[in-house]
Structures are given as C-alpha cells and as structure tokens.
Amino acid sequence: MTNYFNTLSLRDKLTQLGKCRFMENGEFADGVSVLKGKKIVIVGCGAQGLNQGLNMRDSGLDISYALRDAAIKEKRQSYKNAKENNFTVGTYEELIPSADLVINLTPDKQHTSVVSTVMPLMKKGATLSYSHGFNIVEEGMQIREDLTVIMVAPKSPGSEVREEYKRGFGVPTLIAVHPENDPQGKGLAQAKAYAAGTGGHKAGVLESSFVAEVKSDLMGEQTILCGLLQTGSILSFNKMLEKGIDAGYASRLVQYGWETITEGLKLGGITNMMDRLSNPAKIRAFDLAEELKEIMRPLFQKHMDDIMSGHFSKTMMEDWANDDKNLLKWRAETGETAFEKTPAGDDTISEQEYYNNGVLMVAFVKSGVELAFETMTESGIIDESAYYESLHETPLIANTIARKKLFEMNRVISDTAEYGCYLFDHACKPLLDNFMKNIDTDVIGKHYGEGEDNGVDNGKLIAVNKALRGHPVEIVGTRLRESMTAMKPI
C-alpha cells in the first residue's frame, strides 16, 4: 500500500484538501431515518466507539459491538464498556455478516489488520465507516469495490462527544465519502444520518473529504489542541514553582485554568477570552502572544509540512513497527513531570481569577489557535475546517485536562494524537527557553496589575482590539457560532 494523497496530482490534492462545505441545518431534516432499522455494528468500544454508540442508540439507532476474540474472552475494558451499557456484543463472525453499516473505531495502528479481517465478512453492498482518514489516506487501504466507504469524524475527544450530546448539543463533525468507494451513491445520505445520530448536526457539519480531515486533524492535535496545551501546562507550572508560588495552587491554576479561560473562547472567540482581562492585562497577553507566534511559527509550519508530505505518518508508523517504543517512553516521561505528580491544592479560585492570574495561559491559547488556523489555511485547509480543528476543539480538550491533567487528555485522545502531541512538546519546550526566562509571576500565578490603575494608551488598545476582532478565525468563528444555537456552557 502507498500513501493515497501522494499518488494524487497537485490539482486533485488541492481539490480534496479544499473540499469543505458547511451544511445547513435543513439538510438534516430527515435526521437518522436513512439508518433507522439498519444493523449498525461498531468494531471497537473505546473512546469514540462507546460514546458514539451511546449517542446513536439514544437517537434511535440499532447499535451492537463486534469485538476481537481476546477482548471478549478476557472481558477487557472494551467488553465491559459495551456490556455495562447493555449493548449486544459479539464476535466478528457473529455480527459482521448481517451488518448494513460497519463502523471501524479501533486505533489507527490496527486499521489495516482490522479492516483486512472484517472486510471479507461484510455482506455485498454494505458500508464501512471511519472516524479518521489515516488508513485510507496515509496508508492507502484498498476497499472492496462493492462496499461504500464513508467517514464521520467528530472534532472532539470521545468523552466530550457524549457530554455535549447529553447537554442537548453536539460537536462539530466532518463527513466524507471516499470517491473510490460509492458504488450505489448512498454514502452521503448515510454519513448525514450517522452524523445526526451522534448529535453533530447541532454543532455544525462540514461535507469534507478523507484528505481534508486527516491533514487538518493531525495538524490540530499535534499543535494547539494537545501539543501546546501540554507544553504550556508544564512550562507554566514549572515557572510558578521556580518563583515560589505554592505548588498546590499552581497545580490547580493550570489544571482547571485551560478549561475556564477556553470556555470564554468557545462561547465568544478569542475576542471574548481577551475581553475578560483588564486593559493592561489584555495588552500584555497580546504582546506575549505575538512573541510566542514569532517563535513557534516555524515549528507549526514544520508540523504542517511533515503532515502534508507523509513524513509524519512514516515516522509514526516506524514506531508502530517498533512496538510503540517511543509512544510508551514519552507517555511514561510525561507522567513523571512535576505538574502531573503535584495534586491540585484545595484553594478556591474564582472564574475571574483564572484570567487575572493566567495571562500567560491566555497568551498560549491565543497564539496557538491563531497559528494553527493560519498555518492550516495557508496550506489549503478551508477556514471552517480550520476553525473547528483549532478554536472550537480547544475547550473540549481542556475539559479532559481539568478532569485528570495530561494523563486524562493523553488517555482519551487517540494514540495517533498522543504521539504527535509528544513530538510537538519535545520540540517546543527548548524553543521557548529564552522566552520563559523573561516570564515572571506577574503573568502566571499572581493577579496582573493588581491594585494598579486600569489606564492604558488608547492608541495601543484600539490597535489591539482591531487586531483581535479582525483575525480570520474570529470572522469565520462569529458566523459558525451563530448556528450553534444549542451550545451550552459547561
């Protein structure tokens, strides 16, 4: 097999990268009806598998789980996930032959072996679905020509796919039909119904492509969503310790700070998050973010370039072949960091205090969201897709850090995302050495400008506000959030 993207002409690469149509709510008027009464079998009951299945069953769909023999025999967590939620569980041989839709929600590393095992059992004319384009695009998996191949990709960790659904909302979702596999022309209708079943249509659905999804998803997860939140957590915590801030307070400020400050981002964009700061703090955060963008831009561009060329995928697949040696080593090292090993103190920190004492964290979020958006759109990803993959998903990842720090984030995200997160973190921390040398507790750990006058230079404030509101991520975000009428605060 070869990288499908690299076999395309430049013209086709650009066409598939640029496939991104925001779907109007009215296009989902039929809800799940196309899949109603159909046998839907999910392979894998992990982060995405369990949570998508719960949502789809609650939406009235017939869901069961086909697990590998070992998972059933050893009653592994995946088996418990399904049984404890009263789903039918069976082997591939028992469930796949009668399935109308087979949803592959196993780790990307396993896709070639899983699909090779499951495909011969699938009935003629059935549909195979993915939630990430890696196997089709980066590995070039070839699917039986009578089968329809679709993708329904939530731009969210599995846990929040469920939490937002339970709030009566959903998560932004990319859907696609593999152009090489749509023999009956039913792919789009089935993908729409599946997306509606997960609640994705309430947040926003883009008619996209496997190529656009995989290239944007890898970029978002490696940089702003996981990589920079990991780097920012560790650097912010270590700086506060170095400067004598109480360790428990520092741990709480970081663990719950991302969730708090990015809730403002989710509801009102970067503009709202920055407006929660005092005038002096806003200007300070803006200047810090500009400095961070200048330092980190080459690294963001390297990640984008390595994803586009297939170099990232090749590097990660070499680790797969080496029994995940690096992934497991980096996972263990992360667990040994001071931030991970220091429990959050029982201090009471008000919502506003997270902003007042976390100016550096606000700067990390602003610089990371803007850089990821800019780098993706410069490389052919469309604004709406880049928005979902950078700004909107950041608070959803921050929710996982609030639960159980970086451990929970790296547990819930895919192994693919976790691997990319570590790559970025290892490269970014040394890049920020000099920047962090000039950081003090005024911007992390203490109330910025406390007791001082709120006065600032009008010209500077006007320029900052203009730059905030004029960034393309704010323009597209304002429009997309207008359709998120069911969005709820956490």
Ligand X SMILES: NC(=O)C1=CN([C@@H]2O[C@H](COP(=O)(O)OP(=O)(O)OC[C@H]3O[C@@H](n4cnc5c(N)ncnc54)[C@H](OP(=O)(O)O)[C@@H]3O)[C@@H](O)[C@H]2O)C=CC1
The rounded distance, in Å, linking the Cα atoms of 125 and 122 is 8
Which residues of this chain interact with Mg ion, rule CB under 5 A? 217, 221, 414, 417
379 is in an annotated binding site: no
Q: What is the DSSP letter of 22?
A: E
> 46 touches which of ligand X, Mg ion, ligand LWWEY6Y5, none (CB within 5 to 8 A by kind)?
ligand X
The rounded distance, in Å, linking the Cα atoms of 265 and 274 is 9
Q: Is 470 exposed, middle or buried (0-12, 13-18, 19+ CB in 10 A)?
A: exposed
Which residues does residue 89 pair with via DSSP β-bridges, in sequence order?
Answer: 65
27 is in an annotated binding site: no
Would you say the C-alpha torsion 196, 26, 157, 222 has a positive or negative sign? positive
Shortest Cβ 217–Mg ion spacing (Å)? 4
Q: Is 107 within 8 Å of 415 (Cβ atoms)?
A: yes
Shortest Cβ 171–Mg ion spacing (Å)? 10
CA dist list (Å): 241 to 169, 320, 426, 445 = 39, 36, 21, 10
- Tell me: does residue 414 bind ligand LWWEY6Y5 (CB under 6 A): yes
**By C-alpha distance, which of 134, 152, 266 is closest to 206?**
152
Of 71, 147, 406, 444, which one interacts with ligand X (CB under 6 A)? 71
Residue 154 three-state SS? strand
442 is in an annotated binding site: no
18 is in an annotated binding site: no
Of 13, 57, 76, 297, which one interacts with ligand X (CB under 6 A)? 76
- H-type helices in 85-223, by residue range? 92-95, 111-118, 134-137, 158-166, 187-198, 210-220
Q: Is 445 within 8 Å of 245 (Cβ atoms)?
A: yes
Of 28, 31, 36, 46, which one interacts with ligand X (CB under 6 A)? 46
Of 226, 265, 327, 423, which one interacts with ligand LWWEY6Y5 (CB under 6 A)? 226
Among the residue ranges 151-159, 237-245, 308-316, 425-433, the one whose residues contact ligand X (CB under 6 A):
151-159
Indicate the residue among 51 and 377 with the shorter CB distance to ligand LWWEY6Y5.
Answer: 51
Question: How is 239-268 classified by DSSP, letter by letter?
Answer: HHHHTT--HHHHHHHHHHHHHHHHHHHHHH
158 is in an annotated binding site: yes
Indicate the residue among 355 and 424 with the shorter CB distance to ligand LWWEY6Y5.
Answer: 424
Residue in the shown chain whose Cβ atom is closest to ligand X: 46
Chain centroid, CA 470 distance in Å: 25
Q: What is the DSSP letter of 345?
A: P
- Tell me: does residue 68 bind ligand X (CB under 6 A): yes
Residues ≥6 apart with Cβ < 8 Å to 285: 274, 277, 359, 360, 362, 363, 366, 443
Indicate the residue among 175 and 363 with the shorter CB distance to Mg ion.
Answer: 175
48 is in an annotated binding site: yes
The rounded distance, in Å, linking the Cα atoms of 172 and 458 is 38
Q: Is 132 a catalytic residue?
A: yes
The rounded distance, in Å, linking the Cα atoms of 74 and 239 is 45
Indicate the residue among 213 and 425 with the shorter CB distance to ligand X.
Answer: 213
> Which 402-461 residues touch ligand X, going by CB under 6 A?
412-414, 416
164 is in an annotated binding site: no
Residue 130 three-state SS? strand
- Tell me: does residue 16 bind ligand LWWEY6Y5 (CB under 6 A): no
47 is in an annotated binding site: yes
- Tell me: does residue 413 bind ligand LWWEY6Y5 (CB under 6 A): yes
> 44 touches which of Mg ion, ligand X, ligand LWWEY6Y5, none (CB within 5 to 8 A by kind)?
ligand X
> Which 240-299 residues touch ligand X, going by CB under 6 A?
none
- Tell me: does residue 368 bind ligand LWWEY6Y5 (CB under 6 A): no
Shortest Cβ 17–ligand LWWEY6Y5 spacing (Å)? 17
CA dist list (Å): 108 to 112, 137, 138, 317, 457 = 8, 12, 10, 10, 52
Residue 124 three-state SS? coil
350 is in an annotated binding site: no
Q: Catalytic one among 132, 201, 303, 471? A: 132
Shortest Cβ 413–ligand LWWEY6Y5 spacing (Å)? 3
**By C-alpha distance, which of 298, 274, 275 is closest to 288?**
274
Of 164, 207, 217, 384, which one interacts with ligand LWWEY6Y5 (CB under 6 A)? 217
> 108 touches which of Mg ion, ligand LWWEY6Y5, ligand X, none (CB within 5 to 8 A by kind)?
ligand X
Chain centroid, CA 78 distance in Å: 22
Residue 371 three-state SS? helix
Q: Which residues bind ligand LWWEY6Y5 (CB under 6 A)?
A: 155-157, 217, 221, 225-226, 397, 413-414, 416-417
Question: Catalytic residues, which ones?
Answer: 132
Binding residues for NADP(+): 45-48, 68, 76, 78, 108-110, 158
Q: Which residues bind ligand X (CB under 6 A)?
A: 44-49, 67-68, 71, 76-78, 105-108, 110, 113-114, 131-132, 153-154, 157-158, 412-414, 416
Binding residues for substrate: 278, 414
Binding residues: 45-48, 68, 76, 78, 108-110, 158, 217, 221, 278, 389, 393, 414
